[in-house]
Chains A and B, each alone.
Chain A
Amino acid sequence: MFGLWCTRQYRKTVMRGLSHLFDRGLLETCFRELATRLRREEDELCRVALLGWMDFVARAHGGELYRQFKELLPNALGLRRSDGSVLINCREKLICNEPLLCLKAYLFCKKRWMEKKLRSLAAGTPYAEVARVLLGEGDIPEECGGRSENCAIKC
């Protein structure tokens, strides 16, 4: 359960600048594997959960991997218009009336008020479970394939 502890703490760990403690090779392998799974995944909620973990891995790695993640995110979330602009306005509070959109918006905007909205999602619903992944308190759900050995990151 070491990896699970890691997910609960990842935000603090990454924010404290302790990312050098992660094995960078493993982070890259994990990121590539998640990216491959993302291409195959059709369920939008599972896609968000995978992206939530990719976000964590990319931040922990930093540099090129994080740049790649930021670049792929709007398309992967289905938030890119045909003219290249992004569909979401990060200041629009009504976005969080729709839980799936709120999850996507949080990944994209990382706003504190969105975090509060995600925490208030009704417990026991699939959205609440994925919200915990994005908030660093949960793992990729089993129904979405769980987290593989390549992503058993040691902190």
Chain B
Amino acid sequence: MVRAPTLESEIAFCYEVKAVECAKEVKRLLNRKGIEARYIVEYPDVYAIRLNDGNLPEWFRKSFSEIKPRSVREVLGFDEGDLRYRFGGRGQGKWPYDVRKRKPYWCPALRRLSIEVYYERLEYWKALERLFNRHVDGVVREFVELVPRSLKDIWDLDRGGVKLALLDGKTLKSKLREIAEIKSRSYNGLSTLQLVNGDTLLEVVGGREAEYIANLLSGLLFRFGCIPYYVELPTTHAEYLKLPRALYVGVGLKKVGEEYAKGLAVLMTGRGNVVGYVDKEFHVRSRSMEFLEERELDEFVNEIKAKLESYRNNMSKDPELIVVVRSRRFHEIEWRTLRKNFASHWLRLSSKELLLMSTFKLKNITIGPGRTVEVGRRLMSGGLHGVWLVQLSKFKSAVKVSYFYTGNDATLPLAAYIYLRSLDFTSLTQNRTSLPPVKYARNYLKWMYLSQ
């Protein structure tokens, strides 16, 4: 990562170094000179440069200064490997994969959980049963039972309760519309129907069986309303301790027609359980997905606010912090509307803080495993705006975390990214980059769209 404090005329002539137009020009010129560069939209004087052999020409070094990545642990005092996972019955693990060995942290009822497994082919069920018995410890099997059911008709899946469907890959394609309709009807913030491609399941046998079954089990427990594990934040830094008691709002947006998009907000607690959702249709510009009518976004935010207030009324105290997350960049109108609504209404009610953040995977930009770079930060009216790049130890490339925070600790969004990521009970894989409430919102939107 490099910053361009000054640009010499031999590189590019720009009136305003911090403008996107200038960054485009610089990128073109650098590419022409054989240097692959990408700029960061929010801070266009910062570029990611590909170092092929580590040597950059002298003229380059005169115009650009390097921003050295630091270790995540150095910045936060911990990294994702320091998180600890607390299960029920005094179990603590370094990995969420221990979910197959230990009772869940918390469940709404202490009764045994029965999961109906609808299989299209008997061999799918046999494979699952074998994996379950081989990799799930007795203490968990006493608590969770799989009840096999032969699938006669796809509409068998359209029943209450948590279900697991083991379907043929061809069925998943040929009956996509029906499956999407059943799936979207099963949602109540989170779907109670788990779909599994039976052919993929058969391929897992003899491979990464334990990881596969841990992922599946964690997702199923979550669909029952359980919290499979509690994530212990390894810090005493007061600012980061707001995160376990924060309320998270994941916002997803999907285009459903030429000029329409569906917006969905999923509300999640700092323990990872989903407590509500709000959906709305928007008029958008056909290509850019920008909102055409600010009024519609106002209404959406007001509905989210109403949900937040109803959640707040049911709780004994206010959340310490409200975190609004989405997977793509907030549009200027969105930032403004969200800030206006939350800041003037919600914050007036609770006097608590607000963090807006969006995350985006930067393909082909690497900064090194376990490393982070603060691209920039600036003080705006009412808070801090900034951008971090972070590449956790198993990421293939960096993730951009762009934020607006009404507090004054610029490292909180980075801590929030790591903590929130660990609350994804539907995927335990170490290289996942998406954040749970947004992922849940996007999945719901996908099924809603497919069913129409």
Pairing of A with B: yes
* Residues on A facing B (Cβ under 8 Å): 43-46, 79, 87-89, 92, 94-95, 97-101, 120, 122, 124-127, 141, 143-144
Q: What's the least CB distance linking A51 to chain B, in Å?
A: 15
Within 8 A of A (CB), among B234-283: 236, 238, 241-245
Taking A97-B241, A98-B232 as contacts, is the C-beta distance between A126 and B89 under 8 angstroms? yes
Task: Identify the closest chain A residue to B86 (Cβ).
Answer: A126
Q: Are B90 and A97 in contact (CB under 8 A)?
A: no
In the assembled complex, the CB of A38 is this many whole angstroms from the nearest CB of chain B, namely 15
Q: How many angstroms from the CA of A97 to the CA of B231 in the assembled complex?
A: 12
| B92:A44 contact, CB within 8 angstroms | yes
Q: How far apart are the CA atoms of A112 and B57 in the complex, in Å?
A: 64
Instruction: Bits for B72-95, please: 1 = Cβ < 8 Å to A, else 0.
Output: 000000000000101111111000
Contact present for B90 and A92 (CB under 8 Å): no
Are the C-beta atoms of A94 and B232 separated by less than 8 Å? no
Say yes or no: B238 contacts A92, CB within 8 Å. yes
**Minimum C-beta distance from A81 to chain B (A):** 10
Chain A residues contacting B244 (CB-CB under 8 Å) are 97-98
Chain B residue nearest to A123 (CB atoms) is B106
Q: From residue A96, how far is it (CB to closest CB) to chain B in Å?
A: 9
Collect the chain B residues with CB atoms within 8 Å of residue A79's CB.
236
Q: Is B364's beta carbon under 8 Å from chain A? A: no
CA distance A44 to B86 in the complex (A): 10
CA distance A47 to B436 in the complex (A): 32
Which residue of the partner chain B has the closest CB to A49? B90
Q: A101's closest neighbor in chain B, by CB? A: B236
Chain A contacts of B86 at CB under 8 A? 45, 100, 126-127
C-alpha gap A150/B106 in the complex (Å): 33
Evaluate contact between B105 and A125: CB separation under 8 angstroms.
Answer: yes
For chain B, residues 53 to 84, give those with C-beta under 8 angstroms from any C-beta of chain A.
84
Size bracket of the B interface: 20 to 34
A97–B320 Cα distance when bound, in Å, is 9
Asked whether any CB of chain A lies closer than 8 Å to the CB of B316, the reply is yes
From residue A129, how far is it (CB to closest CB) to chain B in Å?
A: 8
- Set B88, B233, B242: member contacting A126, Cβ < 8 A: B88
Pairs A–B under 8 Å by Cβ, sample size 17: A43-B92, A45-B86, A45-B92, A89-B236, A94-B242, A94-B320, A100-B86, A120-B316, A122-B106, A125-B88, A126-B86, A126-B91, A127-B86, A127-B230, A143-B89, A143-B90, A144-B90
- Which of B90, B91, B105, B242 gathers the greatest number of chain A CB atoms within 10 Å? B90
The interface residues of chain A lying within 8 Å CB-to-CB of B245 are 97
In angstroms, how far is the closest chain B Cβ from the Cβ of A25?
31
Give the distance to chain B from A99, nearest Cβ to Cβ, in Å.
8
Closest-CB distance, A145 to chain B (whole angstroms): 10
Contact A125–B92 (Cβ < 8 Å): no
User: Which one, A95, A124, A144, contacts B241 given CB within 8 A?
Assistant: A95
6 nearest A-B residue pairs (beta carbon): A143-B90, A94-B241, A97-B245, A87-B236, A94-B238, A97-B241
**Which residues of B are found within 8 Å of A126, using beta-carbon distances?**
86-91, 105
Chain B, range 311-356, C-beta contacts under 8 Å to A: 316, 320
A126, B89: Cα distance in complex, Å: 6
C-alpha spacing A88/B233, complex, angstroms? 15
* Cα separation A98 to B320 with both chains bound (whole Å): 12
CB distance from B280 to the nearest CB of A (A): 32
Chain A residues near B106: list those with CB within 8 A: 122, 124-125
In the complex, the answer to whether B241 meets A45 with C-beta atoms within 8 Å is no
Q: How far is the CB of A41 from chain B (nearest CB, A)?
A: 11
Given contacts A98-B241, A124-B110, contact A88 B236 (CB under 8 A): yes
Q: Which of the listed residues B92, B233, B316 has the most CB atoms from chain A within 10 Å of its own CB?
A: B92
Asked if B90 contacts A141 (CB within 8 A), the reply is yes
Give Cα A101 to B243, complex, Å: 14
Chain B residues, CB < 8 A from A125:
88, 105-106, 230
Min Cβ gap A107→B in Å is 14
